[in-house]
Amino acid sequence: MRAVITVIGKDTVGILAKVSTVCAENGVNVMDVTQSILQGMFAMIMMVDISGCTVPFSELSDKLTDLGDSMGLRIHVMHEDIFNSMHRI
Amino acid sequence: MLNSHDILETINMIDNENLDVRTITMGISLLDCIDPDANRACDKIYDKICRYAQNLVKTGEDISKEYGIPIINKRISVTPISMIAGANPGVNPVRFALALDRAAQTVGVNFIGGYSALVHKGFSPGDYALIESIPEALSRTEFVCSSVNIGSTKAGINMDAVAKMGGIVNRVAEATADRDCIGAAKLVVFCNAPEDNPFMAGAFHGTGEPDCEINVGVSGPGVVRAALAKAGDCDITAIADIIKKTAFKVTRMGQLVAQEASRRLCVPFGIVDLSLAPTPAIGDSVAYILEEMGLECCGAHGTTAALALLNDAVKKGGVMASSHVGGLSGAFIPVTEDAGMIHAAQCGALTLTKLEAMTAVCSVGLDMIVIPGDTPSEVISAIIADEAAIGMVNSKTTAVRVIPAIGKKVGEELNFGGLLGGGPVMEINRYSPAKFIHRGGRIPAPMQSLKN
């Protein structure tokens, strides 16, 4: 099962490292990363495999949200189906 | 493959444009709960609802978290209670409302709809008793919503029921006058009521529906408005196209949530309701979409045309995005629940007469409109009759949900808080329709041909 992690906010040192650490600690495999500056904001998108995730999805989501709050960033983790269904016919 | 633009667009819709799934509503048939002993019937109702809906709220929350989509409400609709309580003549139907309220509280939903009667052609004794009990039921419960269908395109309009409902609306408002007359916000009078509507307060589970099903209502006025704002100066054809595309995306999300909820709860998927449902939150307004199209203020001349365009484009976009569409499916214009409508009503741009015209081209009717507390019951009945006539002749659902603000006059305000919002008391026409209303009888069903 794949999910998409998005990180949006002001660019600071260590975003990728910290998000990746949460992933690694919870058995989430990072498959692809893209990042860009969008309208002056930092935007990172990670495609991850959560089939080996060691905690329930909601807990992973809470951990990433907490990390985002502590760094002043908005971090979402969402099942990839939501994007597929909205943007693909 | 997914591209980052699409992903960020979805995130932006959720974070900044109030995109959400408005409601997952579980429809539950109570026909097998009918019992000659009213106490036993109420126990069966409570048990069945609790058994079927025990995981509804948790499942909704899990889906919301996994897909990152806010799911605002989890609700239940049941078989019209007049059909169940009809088996217990002489018993106060409020007992059934209390059972529904307890069940709603136990499973944690925020509304339960179906304290209803369908009387478009006439009353059974059960219907009559239930309608009489609505004021007491809505004042003694917190979660129960009530609706009465008084007309249809096939049957015409039951003017006896129309005359009765004017008085009931007033009595409900009086019975809850200490709580900003909130009871009247939970009572809808319908013409052509749909049997699979997931939206409150008018939801009930029709007799043609399965034992249990999941219906989902989507939302997203903020997303549509933002898409139009981004498009800038374009012609009306382009506006319609943008709305269709946006409605498609919003509905696909609703379809996904509906299918997932249906799978996890092991309950058949019913329909997705393609309605644009506003909330009082800033930016989540249908009125602002109309203003984005180029009206100075909602209610200005041109509003009806703009709304017709919006309503049609939402359906065209949504229909392709969902396997089964139903319910009310159209743009809602509940005045107190829409920041833009509240503003338009306050500044005098939006009047009851304009709202009535608007209801001819959109779902669902005169919705959440605060009227003076001293409005005679006959006037409310006449408002219901006018609205039902629009629905009957145009083969569409219309409804009236007006709130008489007991003790308040035009210009003063009611405030319900939450999704129900609040708004100013609006001016009504004071000339009396009393004789017309008291005639009783039925308006015959209209011609279905020779349309002009």
DSSP state of B57: H
Q: What is the pLDDT of residue B439?
A: 96
Query: Which residues neighbour A2 within 8 Å (Cβ) at sequence distance 6 or greater?
Result: A31, A47, A48, A49, A50, A79, A80
Q: What is the pLDDT of residue B19?
A: 87
Local structure of B448: helix, strand or coil: coil
Say how far apart CA B431 and CA B427 lie, in whole Å: 12
Is the same domain home to B183 and B56? yes
Say how far apart CA B166 and CA B400 lie, in whole Å: 10
Distance of residue A67 Cα from the nearest chain B Cα, in angstroms? 16
Is the same domain home to B169 and B224? no
Is the same domain home to B157 and B299? no
Distance of residue B286 Cα from the nearest chain A Cα, in angstroms? 22
The string of DSSP codes covering B390-428 is HHHHTTS-EEEEEEEETT--TT-EEE--GGG-EEEPPP-
Radius of gyration in angstroms for the set of CA atoms belonging to chain B, rounded to a whole number:
21
pTM above 0.80, yes or no: yes
Is the same domain home to B244 and B111? no
End-to-end CA distance of chain A: 20
Diameter of chain A by CA atoms?
Answer: 39
Which of B157, B174, B191 represents a domain boundary (last residue)? B191
Say how far apart CA B30 and CA B366 lie, in whole Å: 30
Asked if B67 has any chain A CB less than 8 Å from its own CB, the reply is yes
Q: Please report which residue ranges of B141-274 form alpha helices under DSSP H.
A: 159-175, 221-231, 236-265
Q: CA distances (Å), A89 to each of A80, B243, B245, B324, in order?
A: 15, 17, 11, 16
B308 exposure class (CB count in 10 Å sphere: 0-12, 13-18, 19+): middle
- Which CATH superfamily hosts domain A2-87? ACT domain (3.30.70.260)
Is omega for the bond preceding B201 within 30 degrees of 0, making it cis?
yes
Beta bridge partners of A4: A47, A78
A63-74 tens-digit pLDDT: 999 999 999 999
Q: What is the pLDDT of residue B387?
A: 96
Q: Give the H or E element holding residue A33.
A: strand A29-38
Is the same domain home to B34 and B155? yes
For residue B24, which of B50, B51, B63 has the smallest C-alpha distance?
B63
Token digits for B239? 């506006």
Is the same domain home to B183 and B247? no
DSSP state of B154: T
Query: Which residues neighbour B209 within 8 Å (Cβ) at sequence distance 6 or greater?
Result: B27, B29, B195, B196, B270
Is the same domain home to B298 and B421? yes
Catalogue the long-range contacts made by B392-395 (C-beta closer than 8 Å, 24 or more residues apart): B392/B151, B392/B152, B392/B153, B392/B156, B392/B157, B392/B191, B392/B192, B392/B443, B392/B445, B392/B446, B393/B153, B393/B446, B394/B360, B395/B153, B395/B192, B395/B448
Say how far apart CA A76 and CA B15 lie, in whole Å: 10
DSSP state of B325: B
Q: Does B210 fall in a domain? A: no
Say how far apart CA B25 and CA B216 lie, in whole Å: 6
Tally of domains within chain B: 2
Q: Does B15 fall in a domain? A: no
Distance of residue B249 Cα from the nearest chain A Cα, in angstroms? 5
Task: Provide block-wise average pLDDT over 10 residues at a time, chain B (452 residues).
Answer: 81 85 95 96 97 95 91 95 94 96 96 96 95 97 97 97 97 95 96 93 94 92 92 94 93 92 95 88 90 96 96 93 89 92 94 95 90 96 97 94 94 87 92 96 91 72
| Sequence ranges of the domains in chain A | 2-87
Q: Give the H or E element holding residue A34.
A: strand A29-38
Tell me if B327 sits within 8 A of B217, measured CB to CB.
Answer: yes
Tell me if A38 sits within 8 A of B8, measured CB to CB.
Answer: yes
Distance of residue B210 Cα from the nearest chain A Cα, in angstroms? 27
Say how far apart CA B155 and CA B166 lie, in whole Å: 20
Q: CA distances (Å), B82 to each of B114, B124, B130, B143, B146, in order?
A: 9, 9, 6, 18, 11
Q: CA distances (Å), B349 to each of B111, B302, B342, B354, in order?
A: 32, 12, 10, 9
Token digits for B26? 């579980």
**For testing contact with chain A, the best of B1, B9, B11 (most A CBs within 10 A):** B11
Q: What is the pLDDT of residue A6?
A: 92
Q: What are phi and psi of B448, to 5 degrees?
A: -105, 0
Asked if B6 and A74 come within 8 Å (Cβ–Cβ), the reply is: no
Q: What is the pLDDT of residue B3?
A: 82
Among candidates B4, B66, B249 on the partner chain, residue whose Cβ is nearest the Cβ of A79: B66
For residue B144, which of B197, B239, B80 has the smallest C-alpha distance?
B80
The nearest alpha carbon in chain B to A74 belongs to B15
Is the same domain home to B117 and B65? yes
Tell me the residue range of the domain where B426 lies: 217-443
DSSP state of B108: T
**For testing contact with chain B, the best of A28, A37, A75, A83 (most B CBs within 10 A):** A83
Say how far apart CA B189 and CA B31 lie, in whole Å: 23
Q: What is the pLDDT of residue B443?
A: 97
B87 exposure class (CB count in 10 Å sphere: 0-12, 13-18, 19+): middle
Q: Does B99 fall in a domain? A: yes
B417 exposure class (CB count in 10 Å sphere: 0-12, 13-18, 19+): exposed
Say how far apart CA B246 and CA B167 lie, in whole Å: 42
Q: Does B452 fall in a domain? A: no
Q: What is the pLDDT of residue B1?
A: 61
Asked if B374 has any chain A CB less than 8 Å from its own CB, the reply is no
Is the same domain home to B278 and B388? yes
Q: What are phi and psi of B307, to 5 degrees?
A: -70, -40
**Domain harbouring B52, CATH code:** 3.20.70.20
Q: What is the pLDDT of residue B85?
A: 95
Asked if B6 has any chain A CB less than 8 Å from its own CB, the reply is yes
Say how far apart CA A50 and CA B22 lie, in whole Å: 28
Say how far apart CA B159 and CA B174 lie, in whole Å: 23
Asked if B2 and A76 come within 8 Å (Cβ–Cβ), the reply is: no
Task: Summarize the confidence of residues A7-27 as an average pLDDT.
Answer: 90
